[in-house]
Each structure stands twice: as structure tokens, then as C-alpha cells.
Amino acid sequence: MSADCRLAMDVPSDVGFARVLTAAAEALALRGGFGRRESLRFQLTVEEFFGCLTETVDASQAIRVVLTGKKHLLRAAFDFEAASLSLGGLNVVAAAPACAASEPAGDLGLLLAGKAADRFHIEHRGERRFGLEAEVDKAYPPGAAVQAPAAYPAPFTARAGSDAGQLAYAAALAAAAYPAWHCPGSFQTPGKFADMIEDGQVRCVVATDAAGQPAGLLSWTPCSDRGLYFSGPFVFAPGQDGAAVARVLVEAFLSLVGREKYEIVLSLRATPDAPDGYFESLGELKLCREDACRPQQVLFRHLREDAGLAVWRHPDLEAFLLDAYDRLAMFRNFLNAPSPTSRPRRESLLGANLDRKRDLGELRTLLDGEDLVDNLRRHVAALRQRGLGNIFYYMDLSQEWEAALAGDLTAAGFTPSVVLPHGGRGDLVVWQHVPAA
Amino acid sequence: MSRLLDRVPAYVREFESYVPSRPDPVLMRQYGVTGLHRLNNNENALGPPPLAQEAIAAFDPHRAAIYPPGDAYDLRAALAAKFGKSPDQFLVGNGSCEVISSVVRAFCQPGDAVVTADKTFAVYEWVARFSGVEPVLVPLRDQAIDAGGMLAAVTARTKVVFICNPNNPTGTWWNRQTLETFLAGLAGRAVVVLDEAYREYVTDPDFPDGLEVLTRHPHVLVFRTFSKMYGLAGLRVGYLCGSQEAVDIVRRTHIAYSVNALGQIAATAALADDAGHIAATRGMVAQARSFLRDLFDGLGLEYVAGEGNFLMARTPVSDTLLYRRLMREGVMIRTMTGFRFPNWIRVSLVEEPAMAAFAAALKKVLDKP
Ligand SMILES: Cc1ncc(COP(=O)(O)O)c(C=O)c1O
């Protein structure tokens, strides 16, 4: 964490200052030992986003820009106040002509500006305040082929992993043994995984056998203030021993986080090795890559006693929610959230989280507006066009106005898939877009 | 742009406040049940001793307008008489939880450390954390607090060592020899807190009496409570006892007037006739323990049955899921993930009908005939 290099500036909303930012971005990339390609991508990202924002932010206002160089990535964060007339222009797919001075007409605003980034998202921070964050990953050499140990002598123990060499080796073993779907992307470049652990954003437990060789791995990272998202358990030892390894991994994981501030752990990519009895299944998502689709269990576990919650419920979701909460034996006070009779503004604004490496687009509504259904459709079309075929929408049931949008989602082609208890500020419903057959 | 949270010390910012269980009527409404067996907090199902019950019933509501003795004067006198000490060796708190906080404030400053077990009562660790004091956590050995490991964890930064004896939730305990060896090895390098919240449940003569130990070890502080054996958890009274010198130090950081008048009166009365009450409670606990042993043996579930009015069992499904399912049957237990025992539950040992209700509910939700 202390290894981060951070640069913060309040920059006037004037495109003339873009060069200051690209120079800073270049210096940061250089200092962090990033390659020329990543440096250029980062500079481009900073320049394009800043250019876009100057069109949205009044010239009298400053844009707060924070550039951060971590060992494994470069991040640009913009904090700004949007002029009220141009909120719709913040949709990643908004046609914002000024944004695209040098591009062909009819393009897609921020989505285009973010083309050089590995991922970016926009969030609403209150009133007209917004945050936009974009990241460019360091390029790591792919993992060399690794030789798995010939045998794994019992007994197995697990503890928090910290030795970089051991972590990189364990990540490489996992990447060799499991389909890419289950693995954090960093497993393909094990040096990156070790750097992310050192950075503290990802944590893990490593199981070792009697000879001290890695026999399994499980990693996790926060997905909200209340939840941890885990990957694994990845088990290298075969058969019965493998089941024992999975158990010590899960026990060590839960013991480490059991007294922390988190309420739940969950995973959209748990392996079939997750031991019986430790997690509950919330349901399935359908995940696709190229044309191959497969069901993925969503695993969940509370870390403490459920205290109950109030949730807002649209009539369209009633049957779905009753069934989900009954299966969970989880009690909720339902409050009615009918469809809105009028909309607060003409143009809606969607938050988008785009992850090219996982073909993933995640949407939520930041501001409701008359054009919401159309806006959702525009986003879906643009994401699909860019090969992001797994499109999820998150609805926080602690917000009345969010829950009231269930009808719009259905109209835009989404279906509710699973409820993530405490997945957001309150319970979160994950909707998945199903392409018309 | 400076948020309120940005002005808060990092160790407070990072700390998540504890969310206690909802009140019973709320839980009953949530889970759709008409009654609730409370097997989650190790309360005494028999209630307070008879004299305490009488004192509570006789409390004149008008006295609620009057401040209580700010230093629990009468209660300390009663404790002193009962245990053969000076009243100045006692400090009474709003539950023993309050005196944990007073002790950490008195002996530690941010950057210091305290040593305790990884799987024990959580409040020592929490108070340390939100005070900027590092809790150094020593793993249990064979489900018991590891004396050697605790000693090895003490450094120049260590100000207090917390030992829960018997340990909540495992019920394991240090005997006289283990404690003496530990204290000799520590040689006064840190204050030692012996939390004896459950000591009145222990009958083994080899169980050390903290109030005797502290006469020979002036840096030992003993915590006790009226919440468990004495059945006064709702009135919040606990206390510490130590050498006069140590207590004088803790008194500086302890809030006067924190213990309410009714609690002081009830606790004083409870001490006056506790023999029959303690015997009856021990009888109930022994019976419930043997009932649960049979139950868990029958279901093939692993359990740890030590001292104290509770028992811990390993569950074949997530403990937090089991909690919700049992709540639907009107039975409340404690999940143990937060004690770093994932997939274990702790069950309080109470009277027969509640134990039977627990057994029936457990079999039902685990689908075992
Ligand atoms: C070991 C231990 N110490 C202290 C307490 C707190 O007791 P009090 O009610 O006196 O604050 C408890 C209660 O659960 C406990 O288990």
C-alpha cells in the first residue's frame, strides 16, 4: 500500500490543461516501471476522459483528478460536479458530439473515451457530484508452465498467504488445473497475483501439505462495504486429500474474516470443490464466452446472524422475492414500490462497469428519467456490439425508487436472477439481460 | 469535500460497530413465531436469586429520580465483606464489559498492544482495536488458551493480557498450576486480566480462585459479573477486583455513576443469599449438558462441552443458515463464525423444556428423525 504513488490535482475544466495530465500520467507510468504500451494507453485514457468531462463540467469549476500508480495498475479518478443540463451526457453510450471531435460522428461518448482502459466505471456521489474511475493494468509475462508436485503428503494446513514466490506458484497451479472462468484474471500472470496480494486489495489463504508444498488456494477481495467476493477453493491434491484441502482452505478463510466488518461472503465463480455445508446456493447465472454458455452457481454465506431488513418490492418482483427469501429462510419486511407515475427528469443516467477481460458489463441506474427503457436498450446494444455478452443489472432493494424500476427492466429485456442478501446497501437483486431468441 | 469520516482516527474509521440482536418481539415478528427460546446469550433461565427478586419488586419508583451511589458504595462493601477484601479493591461497572474498556484506557495508549486468544470473548479485541491498541491474537491449542503461546506473544509493547477463565466459547480452563506457571513466566511484564464471568459454574477444586491469586500477584485484575450466574444481565452490573494500587489506577479512567440504582440494589441482595440459587443453577446446567451430549452423540455431531453454562457443537450446514432455520422454529442460538469457529454454534444450558424444544427444532431443520 505504501508503495503506491499518488498525484492529486484540481484542474480547471479547460481542455487546454489536458497536456498537464498526460505528462503526469506518463511520469507515473515511467516511475512505476510500466511498459510503453501501458503508458500510452493510460495517457490516452486520461486525455480522452478529461476532454469529455470538460464538456460536461462548467468552465468555472475544477475537476479533481487523482492519478494513482500501484504495482499492478494505473488508475485515473475524476471527481466533478456536472452542469445540470448535461447529466444525460454522462451515460457511457450518450451521443456527445463534443466528446468526439476527432472521431466519426454518432459515436458513443465515454464508452469511446474509455476504449484504451481495461475497465472503468462512473458513480453518483450526491446531487450533481460524480466520480469516474478508469484503470489500465500492467502487462505481466504469462505464467511459465509449472510442474505440479508428484505427491501431496497429508496433513494439510492453511494460513494467510504472503510469500510472493509461493503465491505465484500456487496461482500458476490453479490456472493450470481450473477453467479460466473460475480463476481471477491475475492467475494467468502469477506475478501480478503476488503483487495484488502485496498491495492488500486481494487477500488469500494457501494450503500446504506436510512437505510445505502448496496444495490449495482461495482468494478474496471486498465487493462492497459489507461483502467479500471469493474465488476458489482451488485444490491441487487429488481425491479424498483434495476434499481435506478444500475444507482447511474454507475454514481458514472464514476464520480470518469472521470477526471483520464484513457481513457476507459470496462468489459468482466458486469452484465445484467448495465443501458441502459451508455455503448456501443463491441460484444460478448463465455465463457466456464467445458462444459457449454454462450455468454458474452463486454461493453465499452470512458471517453473522441475519438481523432482518426492510426491502422495497415492486409488484412484478413479488413472486420472485417471496420464493428467494423463503428458500433462504430469511425474513424481510416488504414495502411496496409501485412503478413511478412520473419521472423526475427527461434523461436518465446509468452507471456502467465494463470489464473487457471477462466480457462483462454491469449496469445500475444512477438517475431515473423518462427515457430509462430506451437508455437501457441503448446500453445493452452498445455493450453487445463490443463483445460484452454478460450483462448484469444491480438493483438495491433498500432504495424505493430503484426497486420501483422493475417494470422498466423487464421491458428492456432483463430477468431477475438472484438476490444477494446484503450485497449492496441492502439486499441486491442481480438481473441478467437475456437476448431475444 | 472533507467528509466527517476523514477526520476520524484510522483505527475508528476501520472499525465496524457491533450490531446486537433485535429485541425479541421484533425477531418473533420477523420469523413468524409466537415464542422464542433464548439460548444465545448464556443467560440464567432461573432468573436472579430470591432476595434479588424481592429487592427488585420492592424498588420504589420514586427512587428512580435519585442518583445512585456514584461508586456503588454499598455493593462494594458487600463484595468486600463476602470475599474478605477492602471495598477499595473493587470497581463496579455497567456490566464487566465496561471495566474492560476502563482497563484498556488506563494502561494502554495508541500503538501499544494487548495479548489475548484468537477464539475467545470478542470484547477485549474490539476495545483494543477501536482504541488504537493492537490486539495480538494467540491461537488456541486443543481448544484451550495456550499459556506458552500467550507468554511468547508478550513484547515490550504489551500492556495487558486477557485470559478468559473458563474460556467462552470453548469452556476450557487453566488450572492452578497452569496459571501459576504462566504468571511466573510473565514476571509482571504486563497487567493480567482474569475474566471469571463463568467461574461460579465451576466446581472443580483445581480451578484457581482469581481473588486469592491477586493477593500474591499485584498486577492481576479479576473480572466478574452479575449477568451470568446471578441472573441480572438486564440490569448490567459487573466488577473488577485487584490490588489497591491497580484499582486506583483503573478508577481514574472509569466513569462514575455508570451503574444504575436498581442494579446496585439487586446485586447487593443477590450476594446475600446465593448458595441455594447457585446449587439450583448448577443442577439445571449439569442436566442440560448431559441432555445435549446425548443429543449430539445421537446425531453424530462433534461438540466441546467444558465448564460454563454453554456448549459448542459443529454443524453440518453453515451456522448462520442454521440460525435462521432454528429461528423459524422459535429457537435462538449463537453462531460461532464471529468467534472464528465457522460452522459451530454455541447453545446456552437452560431448563428442560427449552432444551427439548431446541432438540426437536434441530432434528427438524437438519431433517433427522
Ligand atoms: C467472558 C465474558 N466476559 C464478560 C461478559 C460480559 O458480561 P457483562 O454482562 O457483565 O458485561 C461476558 C458475556 O457474555 C462473557 O462471556
**Separation of alpha carbons A14 and B227, rounded Å:** 66
Based on the fold, state whether residues B95 and B217 are members of the same structural domain: yes
Based on the fold, state whether residues B169 and B199 are members of the same structural domain: yes
Residue B42 falls inside a structural domain? no
Among A282, A305, A325, A327, which would you mutate to test the B interface (most chain B Cβ atoms within 10 Å of its Cβ)?
Answer: A305
Based on the fold, state whether residues B231 and B301 are members of the same structural domain: no
* Residues near ligand 1 (Cβ within 6 A): B 42, 95-97, 121, 164, 168, 195, 197, 225, 227, 233, 238
Based on the fold, state whether residues B54 and B186 are members of the same structural domain: yes
Based on the fold, state whether residues B129 and B264 are members of the same structural domain: yes
Secondary structure class of A231 (helix, strand, coil): strand
* C-alpha B230 – ligand 1 centre gap (Å): 12
Among B14, B15, B30, which would you mutate to test the A interface (most chain A Cβ atoms within 10 Å of its Cβ)?
Answer: B30
Q: Name the residue with cell 494500587.
A: B245
Please count the other Cβ atoms lying within 10 Å of the Cβ belonging to residue B12. Answer: 13
| A303/B328 touch (CB, cutoff 8 Å), yes or no | no
Of A168, A31, A52, nearest to A117 by C-alpha is A52
Task: Give strand pairing partners of A204.
Answer: A219
| B30/A329 touch (CB, cutoff 8 Å), yes or no | no
DSSP letters for B301-328: --EE--SSSEEEEE-SS-HHHHHHHHHH
Residue B41 falls inside a structural domain? no
Of B328, B39, B319, nearest to A303 by C-alpha is B319
A399 backbone φψ class: left, alpha, beta (φ>0; ψ -120 to 50): beta
Please count the other Cβ atoms lying within 10 Å of the Cβ belonging to residue A80. Answer: 25
Beta strands per DSSP E along chain B: 37-39, 90-93, 113-117, 134-138, 158-164, 191-195, 220-225, 238-241, 303-304, 310-314, 331-335, 344-348
Based on the fold, state whether residues B304 and B349 are members of the same structural domain: yes
Among A1, A230, A259, A299, which would you mutate to test the B interface (most chain B Cβ atoms within 10 Å of its Cβ)?
Answer: A259
Which of B173, B228, B259, B346 to probe ligand 1 with, by most ligand atoms within 8 A of CB?
B228
Pick from B251, B271, B291: which residue ends a domain? B271
Domains and CATH numbers, chain A: 1-136 (3.30.565.10), 157-302 (3.40.630.30), 306-437 (3.40.630)
Q: What is the pLDDT of residue A347?
A: 83
Q: What is the pLDDT of residue B3?
A: 77
Cβ–Cβ contact B315 with A under 8 A: yes
Give the one of A279, A303, A330 whose C-beta lies nearest to B324's C-beta: A330
**Separation of alpha carbons B42 and B350, rounded Å:** 9
| A302/B338 touch (CB, cutoff 8 Å), yes or no | no
Cell, residue A369 = 428519467
Number of domains chain B is built from: 2
Asked whether the beta carbons of A94 and A109 are under 8 A apart, the reply is yes
Based on the fold, state whether residues B179 and B56 are members of the same structural domain: yes
**Separation of alpha carbons A12 and A60, rounded Å:** 7
**Separation of alpha carbons A260 and A96, rounded Å:** 44
Domain span at residue B296 reads 4-35+275-366
How long, in residues, is chain B?
369
Alpha-carbon distance B127 to nearest alpha carbon in chain A (angstroms): 13
**Separation of alpha carbons A59 and A218, rounded Å:** 49
* C-alpha B348 – ligand 1 centre gap (Å): 14
Please name the residue of chain A whose CA is at the shortest distance from the CA of residue B317.
A277
Based on the fold, state whether residues B222 and B286 are members of the same structural domain: no
Write out chain B residues lying below 8 Å of A305, CB-based. 21, 320, 323, 334-335
CA dist A74 to A24, A41, A192, B74, B124, Å? Answer: 12, 10, 13, 66, 40
Q: What is the pLDDT of residue B272?
A: 95
DSSP letters for A35-84: -HHHHHHHHHHHHHHHHHHHHHS-TTSEEEEEEEE-SSEEEEEEEEE--G
Residue B40 falls inside a structural domain? no
Write out chain A residues lying below 8 Å of B30, CB-based. 308, 331, 333
Asked whether the beta carbons of A397 and A324 are under 8 A apart, the reply is no
Based on the fold, state whether residues B218 and B357 are members of the same structural domain: no
DSSP letters for B163-221: EESSPTTT-----HHHHHHHHHHHTTSSEEEEE-TTGGG---TTS--HHHHHHH-TTEE
Give the one of A254, A307, A329 whose C-beta lies nearest to B325's C-beta: A329
Asked whether the beta carbons of A254 and B337 are under 8 A apart, the reply is yes
| B324/A307 touch (CB, cutoff 8 Å), yes or no | no
| B19/A254 touch (CB, cutoff 8 Å), yes or no | no
Q: What is the pLDDT of residue A185?
A: 84
Write out chain A residues lying below 8 Å of B19, CB-based. 304, 307
Q: Is the peptide bond before A233 cis (omega within 30 degrees of 0)?
A: yes
Of A400, A404, A405, A407, nearest to A426 by C-alpha is A400
Of B283, B281, B288, nearest to B357 by C-alpha is B288
Alpha-carbon distance B41 to nearest alpha carbon in chain A (angstroms): 13
| B30/A279 touch (CB, cutoff 8 Å), yes or no | no
Write out chain B residues lying below 8 Å of A330, CB-based. 324
For residues B27, B30, B35, B38, the Cα torsion angle rounded to the nearest 10 degrees is: -30
CA dist A402 to A311, A364, A368, A428, Å? Answer: 11, 9, 8, 10
Of A321, A281, A283, A292, nearest to A390 by C-alpha is A292
Give the one of A254, A328, A331 whose C-beta lies nearest to B342's C-beta: A254
Of A114, A150, A147, nearest to A132 by C-alpha is A114
Residue B43 falls inside a structural domain? no
Residue B306 falls inside a structural domain? yes
Q: What string of pLDDT tens digits covers the 369 residues of chain B?
A: 457 888 899 999 888 888 888 899 999 988 899 999 999 999 999 999 999 999 999 999 999 999 999 999 999 999 999 999 999 999 999 999 999 999 999 999 999 999 999 999 999 999 999 999 999 999 999 999 999 999 999 999 999 999 999 999 999 999 999 999 999 999 999 999 999 999 999 999 999 999 999 999 999 999 999 999 999 999 999 999 999 999 999 999 999 999 999 999 999 999 998 999 999 999 999 999 999 999 999 999 999 999 999 999 999 999 999 999 999 999 999 999 999 999 999 999 999 999 999 999 999 999 875
Helices (H) and strands (E) in chain A, counts: 10, 19
Q: What ipTM was assigned to the predicted interfaces of this complex?
A: 0.86
> The CATH number of the domain where B317 resides is what?
3.90.1150.10
**What is the model's pTM?**
0.86
Please count the other Cβ atoms lying within 10 Å of the Cβ belonging to residue B7. Answer: 8
Based on the fold, state whether residues B242 and B315 are members of the same structural domain: no
Pick from B245, B271, B297: which residue ends a domain? B271
Alpha-carbon distance A225 to nearest alpha carbon in chain B (angstroms): 10
Pick from B271, B292, B316: which residue ends a domain? B271
Cell, residue B234 = 438486564
> The CATH number of the domain where B160 resides is what?
3.40.640.10
Cell, residue A98 = 463534443
Residue B93 falls inside a structural domain? yes
| B340/A304 touch (CB, cutoff 8 Å), yes or no | no
* C-alpha A192 – ligand 1 centre gap (Å): 45
Asked whether the beta carbons of A375 and A393 are under 8 A apart, the reply is no
Spatial strand order of the sheet with A428-433 comes to A5-12, A62-69, A73-81, A129-137, A119-126, A349-355, A360-367, A390-396, A428-433, A414-420
Please name the residue of chain B whose CA is at the shortest distance from the CA of residue A299.
B318
**Separation of alpha carbons A158 and A252, rounded Å:** 6
Based on the fold, state whether residues B168 and B236 are members of the same structural domain: yes
Cell, residue A372 = 430509462
Based on the fold, state whether residues B105 and B238 are members of the same structural domain: yes
- Residue A429 parent element (H or E): strand A428-433
**Separation of alpha carbons A326 and A280, rounded Å:** 13
Closest ligand 1 atom to residue B98 Cα is: 11
**Separation of alpha carbons A417 and A431, rounded Å:** 5
Residue B57 falls inside a structural domain? yes
**Separation of alpha carbons A105 and A99, rounded Å:** 10
Residue B168 falls inside a structural domain? yes
Sign of the C-alpha dihedral, residues A231, A235, A239, A240? negative
Cβ–Cβ contact A303 with B under 8 A: yes
| A302/B1 touch (CB, cutoff 8 Å), yes or no | no
**Separation of alpha carbons A237 and A215, rounded Å:** 6
Of B275, B336, B304, nearest to A305 by C-alpha is B336
Q: Name the residue with cell 462492497.
A: A224
Q: What string of pLDDT tens digits covers the 437 residues of chain A?
A: 447 899 999 999 999 999 999 999 999 999 999 999 999 999 999 998 898 888 888 889 999 999 999 999 999 999 999 876 556 666 776 654 334 444 433 344 666 667 788 887 777 888 888 888 999 999 888 877 888 888 999 999 999 988 888 999 999 999 999 987 788 888 888 888 888 998 888 999 999 999 999 999 999 999 888 889 999 899 999 988 999 999 999 999 999 999 888 989 999 889 999 999 999 999 988 888 777 788 888 999 999 988 888 899 999 999 999 999 998 988 898 999 999 999 888 888 888 877 776 788 899 898 899 999 999 999 999 889 888 889 999 999 999 999 999 999 999 999 999 999 988 888 999 999 988 76
Of B346, B368, B344, nearest to B42 by C-alpha is B346
**Separation of alpha carbons B99 and B209, rounded Å:** 19
How long, in residues, is chain A?
437
